[in-house]
Structure 1
Amino acid sequence: MARVPAIKRRKLTPPASDGEESSPSTVEADPKSNAFLKQASSWNLEQDYESRPRKGKKKDKESTRLPIKTADGVIEHVQAPEEEEQSDLEWLEQDNDEDEEIEAEPAKPTVPIRQQILEAKEELAKIALVLNEDPEENGAAFKALAQIGQTQNTTIKKLALATQLAVYKDVIPGYRIRPLSEEDMETKVSKEVRKLRAYEQALVGGYQSYIRELAKLAQSGKSSKDGGPSLGSVAIACACNLLVSVPHFNFRGELLKILVGKLSTRKVDGDFVKCRETIETLFQNDEDGTPSLDAVSLLTKMMKGRGYRIDESVLNTFLHLRLLSEFSWKASTNHVDKPARGEEEGPKLKQKKVFRTKKDRKLLKERKAVEKEMVQADATVSHEERDRMQAETLKLVFVTYFRILKMRSPSLMGAVLEGLARYAHLINQDFFGDLLEALKDLIGHAETGDDVEEEEEDEESTRNLTREALLCIITAFALLEGQDAAKAQATLSLDLSFFVTHLYRTLHALALNPDIELSAKSLHLPDPNNPAAPLPTTNNKINIQTTTVLLLRSLSSVLIPELGARAVPPLRIGAFTKQLLTSSLHLPEKSCLATIGLLGKVTKTHEKKIAALWNTEERRGDGMFDALNGEVEGSNPFAATIWEGELLRKHYCPAVRDGVKTMEKNVLGLR
């Protein structure tokens, strides 16, 4: 059936009203309308209508979205946004057009990494130069420095960290910036003060962000791909540098947390050593005591949290505290003996009163007030405040030492005993009894070897109980020598005979010890008869002093103590002199020379008490000398003579021969 397009045309062009003119006359009069009609005659309107999208079908489309629950608890069904449907031809034509646009779009040129690094260097240098010239006018530059470091390029990050370190070290003032309170913000101030406050807040904000970035990078632990230092190592180095350079400034605790976190690991690497040396430097350079207290507090908390499973060198940092040489009070774990004000200042002589007029007294009062303000302006730390800080630090150190002493941590016993020996002059007398009992218990286990059997299955290295026993003896006598002579003689009744007896029993065994002149850090050769056996003292980390040094320190405390009020019995001096000369025949050259030198001091100090050992006619004892007796009083030393001197006169070392001659000259010169 043929189509009738005329009907379609009549629907598109309605008939004109009676009052209007007919359309054909109008169309014929307009040439543009004639061209439009000729073109419209070729349109396929039915096909266009069929390909047009149907709007009614959108309602039947199923929603693929899940219901949601609002903040009020109401469940709502969310409808998908309506999209206009397109015909297949239009979609295909549009898709082809987009493909052509994508293919026609040129690729963006990438900047080489080397060029990026050079541009970052120039930008960092410009910002750093601006901040160094006038930091108060360019407070926003701190954020610009931090933004350059927010990149994926590791080299640029390292450069940004180093640049910020140099800038902050230069611009940080010599005082601590306190945060502004609400009252300070509401107070009206001058334009200069407002400007300074804005700069200080910008400085503190940028510095805090920088330290947070250092803390995050220090914990990352990522290694560097280019073979240089990793980002974590650079961050730790920056934190160490800041802590040494500006320990007085804000966020010192955050810097200490970075270092203490690294020291909590058992892996000793370059970063670990750098953090430990920084803490030691902080202790040595601390003048007011506050940074040291903060560091010791964090270290003790870390040690307790890890169950004291730490490296020995971390505990030895306490030996670098300035209170060892500056602090003069006595303390324990929970108490500090502060001297009375009159005792501390000493007796004052009565001075003649100077007559001053009323005007002079007024001027003197004003001068003292000005001097007081000048002291406060200079931020001078008073001695009382420093002593208070050091007292709190000392209590924390003693708490750590005594806890490790009770736990008997294998790798830390030597360090604890060495530390107690160094701090003995600062220990409270009320705590002597408990400490001496703990030391006796350690020596008892050293004699029986119970601790070694219990620790064979432990992953720690073997303990050298001989060295620990010597350290216990040194600590016990250091407790007594560190007290005032008059007070110690009147108030202390300490029985140290247990330590003297143990030292006397170990002299022969120590003389036959092949490692007596070796320390934990000395080179050790394996046993040629048993190459598979582990090295006896390679992993021993008690301390760096050799066994000979510890033995001489113990003997000096027993035979020639510094406390002159306590006289040494002649029987003890004679027994030790006889045993030491016998042991010298078996000692190596250096140890033998050191022992002969010690006996030279003994003979010079106590020549009258032991002169009978060199002369049989002046023998005071009856019976026989028992060299194997474990008791000093039961050995009967004055029943023997010093025949070892004749052999030592022919020693191959000239220094030993001269030492023997000096020793005999001190004794025989009496007659």
Structure 2
Amino acid sequence: MAKRKNSSKEIEKRKKLKQEEQDKLLSTGLFNQKQQIDQDNDEDDEEEQEQEQVNDNDWENEEQDYELTPRNVPKTVVEGLPIKTSDGKIERVVREIVKEEEPLEEEPVEEPPIEEEPVEEEDEDSHLSPLERLNKIKEEIAELASKLMEDPEENISCLTRLRKMSESKNIITCQLSIMALIPVFKSLAPSYRIRPLTDTEKREKVGRDIIRLRNFEQGLLSNYIQYITHLSNLARTSYSNSINNSKTTSHQVKLGSIATKAACELCLSSLRYFNNRAELFAIIIKRLNRKPSHEDDLKIFTKCLRVLETLLKDDEENGDISFDITRILIKSIKDKKFRIDESVLNIFLSLKILEDFNPFDTNDRPQKPKLKKKDRVHISKKERKARKERKEIEEELQKAQHAITVEEREKFQAQILKSLLTLYLEILKSGSSSTPNDATLLTASVLEGLSRFGQMANFDLLGDFLEVLREIMNDIIEDHNEEGGQYDGKQLRTILLCIVTSFSLVLNHQSNGRLPMAIDLSKFVSNLYLILADLSLDCDLEFSHKSLRLLDPLSISEQQEKPSVNVSTKSELLLRCLDFIFFRSKNGSPFRANSFIKRLYMLLLQSPEKTSMASLKFVGKLLSRYDESLKYLWNTDEIISEGTYILGIEQQDLEVELERCNSGAATLWENVLLDKHYCPVIRDGSRSLLKNSKPNDKR
């Protein structure tokens, strides 16, 4: 308060002093002089302002004159082709191109829509060389991709821009954008499905971070779906289906190949667990038709086969991917009415999910006993609601972790097996008709699949399969009897597969106790005995698709003919058939063993080394099982049979039958030739069998 009083007193003193000074000026007349001086100063200021205004007017006039002066237009010098004059001199030709400047008052134009981008690029980049245009497109794509990698949630619009560039009419822009989106989606997309938001979740108030994440996920999913749709549209065009279409250009064929390769890359990544994987698998399966003859299409065809086989082999634990591929592929095969290559049907042989499946497993899992009402623990309504919420959360976590329960896995296995066996049966029925069709070419592939998965078939399909298999064998044998000659490799393989499949189907049901009746398979045994002689003369008895060999110089075809099914060799199938007949079923007998041993010794003289060794081991197993009933084949001193052995293969138009060959009168004179065999293992094996067959050796 004291400071405020002191300051107010000082102010009053200053006012008094100022008043006294003015009074003194009035008395002396100096006040009028000062007023006059102030007036003179004001007049000087007005003159200066007028002078400045004049100068301003002069500057504006001078600027207007500058604007009226002609401008120097920039010129571009372009060197043309040199000219040779009449004197023989070469002169340079240089011409100037006047580049018009854009008006300064023009406002920046908004970016045009993506669909019209190629037209705008041509107008804007008309002065650029093709290499400069390419570099500019690459720089733009690289900049968009780098922004997405740095902060995808903030720069999700760059993904939309890059995806629209992949739909451009410019072939270079479209091609580079499609390939650039592959690593972008690989890095951005999670390895789980993004489920759509419910109406309740959309109405909820959430934080800014959650809104940002949701916008990113929805933008990613929307662009991915449109990208897959665009790839599907492009992949429909190939060289094979564009031959008779004049409207299809080479650029469209090239984009179709690129789109299919992009789909293959996405399938082998974690995007196989992302949304719309069925549409992604469909892109690859649509390219699997008849084997193309064009080199580029053949490479893509083979790549698609390998991708699907890899997916089926890797899906051993879950089964959901195998179920999707099987469902789409079977539907495609039926839509094409079996007009496919057999390699497409062999894709099912890569199913790992069915290796540990046993549909006849009666050991049900122990179920929890149902509690009586009096033994139940009372739970409040609030607790039941909390349990239900926790259960829903656990299910979502299982889906995110690709966790599939045992029940779901068995359900996938059952559905895959049912659809696959139904397809096999339809192909066999269609191929066994009187008129040859496309399904006939798939018979060997179907039989190989049945030999692997047919043992899981239920009893309802067993009779249908056996009937079809018997018809296929009879048709081959009847055609051969009419034409004569020797069975070729495909016919022999088909018959062997029919025999193996039929025995595996019946024996599986017998072992599980689900066969209420006895099934006669003697016809299959007789057919195996019938083809043994021709089988020994087959040059490809031990060859598989992996064997390296030269082309037959006498063959008409320029390409080497590989086995129809690339799994088992004919030698392996033969040993499986013999094992089924004599050691795993009740079809074996000493009489049949005599006949087969005689035929096998005939096969030993012509068959390759490994097949001969395996046949000798099998004869040794038969000798140890039937013992005294077979020893007279090596020694006829004790047993003398009536009649003669009917060889059959040297007599024309004579059907060789197992029951009428009179094998009791046969002798194994082939031991004399086997004793001089070039292979020491075969030579020692035949000597050992001869030694063990003597009655004096058994002591």
Evaluate the alpha carbon distance shift between residue 205 and residue 582 of structure 1 in structure 2; reply closer, same or farther with a 3 A threshold.
Answer: same
- The 1-side partners of 2:99 and 2:634 are apart by 112
Change (3 A) 1:451 1:317: farther
1:375: how far off? 7.2
Identify unmatched segments of 5+ residues in structure 1: 1-101, 331-338, 349-356, 359-365, 454-461
- Equivalent pair of 2:581/2:587 in contact (CA under 8 Å): no
Decide whether aligned partners of structure 1 residues 648 and 539 sit closer, same or farther in structure 2, where only a CA change above 3 A counts. Answer: closer
8 Å Cα contact 1:131/1:141 also seen in 2: yes
Q: Is the 8 A contact 2:235 2:257 kept in 1?
A: yes
1: CA distance between counterparts of 2:367 and 2:588?
Answer: 35
TM-score (norm 1): 0.70
Distance 2:252 2:550 in 1: 31
Aligned partner of 1:398 among 397, 421, 430: 421
Q: Which amino acid aligns with 1:326?
A: D
Picking from 220, 233, 240, the partner of 2:264 is: 240
Which residue identity lines up with residue 525 of structure 1 in the other structure?
D
Paired AA for residue 186 in structure 2: K
Unaligned runs of 5+ in 2: 1-96, 102-122, 243-247, 369-376, 379-385, 432-438, 649-654
Shift, 1:225, TM fit: 11
- In structure 2, the residue matched to 1:53 is none
TM-score (structure 2 length as normaliser): 0.68
2:306 matched to 1:277?
A: yes
Q: How far is 1:138 from its partner?
A: 2.3
Cα distance in 1 between the residues matched to 2:312 and 2:353: 9
2:287 equivalent in structure 1:
262
1:534 Cα deviation (Å)? 5.9
Q: Could you tell me how far 1:401 is from its partner in structure 2?
A: 0.7
1:344 aligns with 2:361: no
Pick aligned residue for 1:253 from 241, 263, 278? 278
- Is 1:130 the counterpart of 2:147? The answer is yes
Answer whether contact 1:600 1:663 (CA < 8 A) is retained: yes
Whole-Å separation in 1 of the counterparts to 2:194 and 2:670: 72
Q: Which one-letter code corresponds to 1:387 in the other structure?
A: E
Looking at structure 2, the residues matched to 263 and 599 of structure 1 have their Cα atoms a distance apart, in angstroms, of 45
What is the one-letter code of the residue matched to 2:254? S
Cα deviation for residue 296 of structure 1 reads 1.4
1:196-229 per-residue CA deviation (whole Å, 9 max, x = no partner) reads 2111100101111211221122123379999999
1:392 and 1:138 map into 2 onto residues whose CA distance is 44
- Verify: 1:635 aligned to 2:658, yes or no: no
Q: Helix, strand or coil: the match of 1:137?
A: coil
Report if the CA contact (8 A) 2:290-2:339 is conserved.
Answer: no
**What corresponds to 1:121 in structure 2?**
138
CA deviations over 1:473-495 (Å, ceiling 9, x no partner): 1111111333452616x634121
Does structure 2 retain, via aligned residues, the 8 Å contact 1:176–1:248?
A: yes
Give yes or no for contact 1:604–1:666 (8 Å, CA) kept in 2. no
Residue matched to 1:656: 682
Cα distance, 1:378 vs. partner? 3.8
1:398 alignment partner AA:
L
Q: CA–CA distance in 1 between the matches of 2:252 and 2:629?
A: 68
| Residue type of the alignment partner of 1:252 | R
In the aligned structure 2, how far is the partner of 1:322 from the partner of 1:205?
34
Contact 1:613 1:619 in 2 (8 A): no
Partner of 1:552: 575
Alignment-derived partner of residue 524 in structure 2: 499
State the SS of the aligned residue for 1:188.
coil
How far apart, CA to CA, are the structure 2 residues paired with 1:467 and 1:639?
31
SS at match of 2:449: helix
Paired AA for residue 243 in structure 1: C
Tell me what 2:442 maps to.
412
- Give the whole-Å Cα distance in 2 for the aligned partners of 1:227 and 1:104: 35
**Aligned position for 2:406:** 383
**SS across alignment from 1:111:** coil
SS at match of 1:301: helix
Of 610-619 and 312-321, more deviation after overlay is shown by 610-619
SS of equivalent residue, structure 1 residue 230: helix
The match for 1:292 is: 322
673, 690, 696: which one aligns with 1:647 = 673
Structure-2 separation of matches of 1:463 and 1:180: 60
Match of 1:169 among 186, 190, 195: 186
| CA spacing shift, 1:620–1:473, aligned 2, 3 Å | farther
| Contact 2:544–2:567 under 8 Å retained in 1 | yes
User: Does structure 1 retain, via aligned residues, the 8 Å contact 2:234–2:256?
Assistant: yes
Distance 1:605 1:372, change over 3 A: farther
Q: 1:581·1:644 contact (CA, 8 Å) conserved in 2?
A: yes
Partner SS, residue 153 of structure 2: helix
Q: How does 1:520-535 map to 2 (within 5 A)?
A: 523-527=550-554
Change (3 A) 1:255 1:476: same
Distance 2:324 2:481 in 1: 35
1:290-322: per-residue Cα shift (whole Å, max 9, x none)?
222222122112111211010000000011112
Contact map agreement 2:604 2:612 (CA 8 A) in 1: yes
Q: Deviations over 1:311-360 (max 9, x none)?
A: 00000001111233022115xxxxxxxx55xx233799xxxxxxxx99xx
How many Å apart are 1:519 and its aligned residue?
6.0
> Does residue 308 of the first structure (1) align with residue 305 of the second (2)?
no
Pairing 1:3-42 to 2, within 5 Å after superposition: none
Q: Distance in 1 between matches of 2:252 and 2:398?
A: 44
Which of 207, 210, 225 lines up with 1:193 in the alignment?
A: 210
Letter of the aligned partner of 1:585 in structure 2? L
1:155-194 Cα distance to aligned partner (Å, 9 max, x none): 4433322221101111111210122343432233333322
In the alignment, structure 1 residue 428 sits paired with structure 2 residue 458 = yes
- Equivalent position amino acid for 1:538 in 2: E
Matches of 2:643 and 2:492 in 1, distance apart?
A: 33
Moved more, 609-618 or 369-378: 369-378
8 Å CA contact 1:523–1:538 kept in 2: the answer is no
Deviation for aligned residue 1:117: 2.5
What is the alpha-carbon distance in structure 2 between the residues aligned to residue 267 and residue 432 of structure 1? 36
Structure 2: how far apart are the matches of 1:608 and 1:142?
82
SS at structure 1 position matched to 2:273:
coil
* d(CA) in 1 for partners of 2:204, 2:188: 27
Aligned counterparts of 1:525 and 1:215: Cα–Cα separation in 2: 42
**TM-aligned CA distance change 1:165 to 1:434, over 3 Å:** same
* Alignment equivalent of 2:164, drawn from 147, 167, 181: 147
C-alpha deviation, 1:576, in angstroms: 0.5
- With 508-517 and 235-244 compared, the bigger mean Cα shift is at 508-517
- In the alignment, the residues of structure 1 paired with residue 683 and residue 669 of structure 2 have an alpha-carbon distance, to the nearest angstrom, of 15
What CA distance in whole angstroms lies between the structure 1 residues aligned with 2:521 and 2:366? 33
- Label 1:368 to 1:187 Cα distance change in 2 as closer, same or farther (>3 A): closer
Q: Distance in 1 between matches of 2:481 and 2:310?
A: 36
Q: Tell me the matched-pair count.
A: 531
Q: Structure 2: how far apart are the matches of 1:281 and 1:450?
A: 40
CA distance, structure 2, for counterparts of residue 451 and residue 321 of structure 1: 38
Q: Which amino acid aligns with 1:272?
A: F
Instruction: Provide the rounded CA distance (Å) in 2 between the counterparts of 1:376 and 1:181.
Output: 14
Q: CA deviation at 1:403?
A: 1.0
Distance 2:419 2:349 in 1: 13
For 1:104 and 1:585, the matched residues in 2 are separated by 92
Task: Letter of the 1:439 partner, please give it.
Answer: L
Paired residues of 1:508 and 1:583 also in contact (CA < 8 A): yes
Equivalent in 520, 537, 541 of residue 512 of structure 1: 537
Note the C-alpha offset of 1:556.
Answer: 2.8
**Change in CA separation of 1:104 and 1:164 when aligned onto 2, cut-off 3 Å:** closer
How many Å separate the matches in 2 of 1:418 and 1:133? 52
Q: Give the superposition deviation at 1:382.
A: 0.5
CA distance in 1 between partners of 2:275 and 2:559 (Å)? 48
Cα 1:491–1:166 shift into 2, 3 Å: same
User: 1:509–1:221: structure 2 CA closer, same or farther, 3 Å change rule?
Assistant: closer
